[in-house]
């Protein structure tokens, strides 16, 4: 996860810049899609801890190169955020006090000013040398054992006391007292205003990401036309050959499926991420849903992306642009041919072939000596 996540972030920064990455990070749908592509349980609250932990490990050693610093983390690691920010400020001439104040303010707002019954246990602060930042926090409700995620982006904050979030993600759990709502001036009037506001009107103004308690991926969770375009790349030889040509690689069909979804995470517009479960079809999920993580495919996805990034550093951008071309090609298939995926059949297929690609879950016996998976790509659709 650390290696793949870092390569995806590097690709986004290379194509669109650091501000664009922070903007995507603060989009809950893109964040969930990123975690799914990285092999996390597509619906799990643990996606937040795992993704941010992996990015911290992968990005910080290269902060001098990529200009992204990840601070904080879960539990006791969150308490290290002020010291980490001061260290970064010393290296970049940023205002340490301002960064620390922002970190503490975002935590206090989500823990205290947003009265939703969730207590913050994870706080991560991502900052650039220019002082742009994004905050990802997560809270837990002890009674329901449900989590809620809070997204912030410096470019979207005009006033910390007036609608400062880019998103708050979680299941609806009754009335929320939000003292940083734009209507909360004065607070007493805001509480009355929130109680009187038609919920349907409020809900219509926002996109909501809600994740089910179940682990399995179902057809209702996925846009079949979008997934159909990706699967068409792997099932139809003419499309597969052309897609491989776009990437300047000789790739098997299963790797193309993964790379097409990774390419969409790198290049897709916000509207493309309203069905994040679809991105679990890149590398499955560590809980086995929709299928076990295919380790050989995962490794090859990393290798292709890494080779493209290394070539781009040498001024050879052809492979890096190949990912953008692959994303555009998949979207053209979706628009022009409009294939629809049979989601259940796709899941069943990937489960059947999972052993071929070293499929693993967290439930496997790690002490068992497994036979080595095949290293070559198998054409799953040849006779």
288: tokens are: 């086995």
Identify whether residues 191 and 223 lie together within a single domain: no
Identify whether residues 177 and 269 lie together within a single domain: no
Q: In 3-state terms, what secondary structure has residue 333?
A: helix
In a domain, 304, yes or no: yes
In a domain, 212, yes or no: no
Looking at 146, 179, 203, the residue that finishes a domain is 203
Identify whether residues 264 and 192 lie together within a single domain: no
* Cα-based distances in Å from 12 to 243, 246, 370: 20, 19, 36
Identify whether residues 173 and 287 lie together within a single domain: no
CA 140 from centroid of its chain's CA atoms: 20
In a domain, 39, yes or no: no
Whether residue 133 contacts residue 8, with contact meaning beta carbons closer than 8 Å, is answered with no
In a domain, 211, yes or no: no
Looking at 203, 230, 254, the residue that finishes a domain is 203
Looking at 203, 228, 246, the residue that finishes a domain is 203
Identify whether residues 199 and 223 lie together within a single domain: no
Identify whether residues 164 and 129 lie together within a single domain: yes
Residuewise pLDDT in 10s, the chain (383 residues) = 999 999 999 999 999 999 999 999 999 999 999 999 999 888 777 899 999 999 999 999 999 999 999 999 998 899 999 999 999 999 999 999 999 999 999 998 888 777 777 889 999 999 999 999 999 999 988 888 888 899 999 999 988 877 889 988 877 666 666 666 666 555 545 444 545 666 555 455 556 677 777 889 999 999 999 999 999 988 898 888 888 888 878 788 899 999 999 999 999 988 899 899 999 999 999 999 999 999 999 999 999 999 999 988 888 888 889 999 999 999 999 999 999 999 999 999 999 999 999 999 988 865 454 444 433 332 322 22
In a domain, 365, yes or no: no
| Domain membership of residue 232 as a residue range | 219-360
In a domain, 7, yes or no: no
Identify whether residues 127 and 72 lie together within a single domain: yes
pTM of the model: 0.79
In a domain, 298, yes or no: yes
Identify whether residues 231 and 356 lie together within a single domain: yes
Identify whether residues 189 and 281 lie together within a single domain: no
The torsion angles phi and psi of 116, rounded to 5 degrees, stand at -120, 5
In a domain, 38, yes or no: no
How many structural domains comprise the chain? 2
């Amino acid at each position: 996860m650390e290696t793949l996540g870092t390569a995806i972030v590097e690709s986004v920064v290379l194509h669109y810049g650091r501000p664009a990455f922070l903007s995507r990070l603060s989009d809950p749908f893109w964040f969930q899609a990123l975690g799914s592509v990285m092999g996390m349980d597509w619906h799990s609250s643990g996606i937040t801890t795992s993704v941010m932990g992996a990015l911290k490990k992968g990005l910080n050693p290269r902060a001098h190169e990529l200009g992204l610093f990840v601070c904080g983390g879960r539990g006791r690691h969150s308490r290290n955020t002020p010291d980490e920010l001061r260290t970064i400020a010393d290296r970049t001439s940023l205002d340490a006090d301002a960064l620390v104040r922002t970190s503490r303010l975002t935590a206090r707002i989500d823990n205290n000013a947003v009265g939703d019954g969730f207590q913050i246990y994870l706080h991560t602060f991502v900052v650039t040398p220019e002082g742009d930042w994004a905050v990802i926090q997560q809270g837990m409700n002890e009674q329901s054992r449900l989590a809620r995620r809070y997204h912030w982006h410096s470019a979207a904050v005009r006033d910390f006391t007036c609608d400062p979030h880019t998103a708050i993600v979680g299941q609806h759990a009754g009335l929320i007292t939000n003292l940083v709502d734009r209507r909360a001036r004065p607070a007493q009037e805001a509480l009355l205003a929130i109680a009187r506001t038609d919920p349907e009107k409020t809900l219509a103004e926002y996109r909501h990401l809600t994740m089910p308690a179940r682990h399995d991926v179902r057809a209702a969770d996925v846009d079949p036309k979008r997934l159909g375009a990706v699967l068409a790349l792997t099932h139809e030889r003419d499309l597969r050959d052309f897609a491989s040509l776009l990437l300047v690689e000789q790739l098997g069909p299963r790797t193309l499926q993964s790379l097409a979804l990774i390419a969409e995470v790198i290049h897709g517009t916000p509207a493309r991420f309203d069905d994040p479960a679809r991105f679990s079809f890149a590398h499955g999920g560590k809980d086995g849903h929709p299928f076990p993580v295919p380790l050989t495919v995962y490794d090859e996805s990393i290798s292709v992306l890494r080779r493209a990034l290394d070539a781009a550093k040498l001024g050879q951008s052809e492979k890096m642009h190949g990912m953008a071309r692959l994303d555009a090609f998949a979207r053209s298939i979706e628009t022009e041919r409009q294939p629809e995926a049979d989601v259940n059949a796709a899941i069943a297929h990937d489960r059947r072939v999972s052993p071929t690609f070293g499929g693993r879950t967290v439930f496997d016996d790690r002490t068992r000596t497994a036979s080595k998976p095949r290293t070559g790509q198998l054409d799953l659709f040849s006779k």
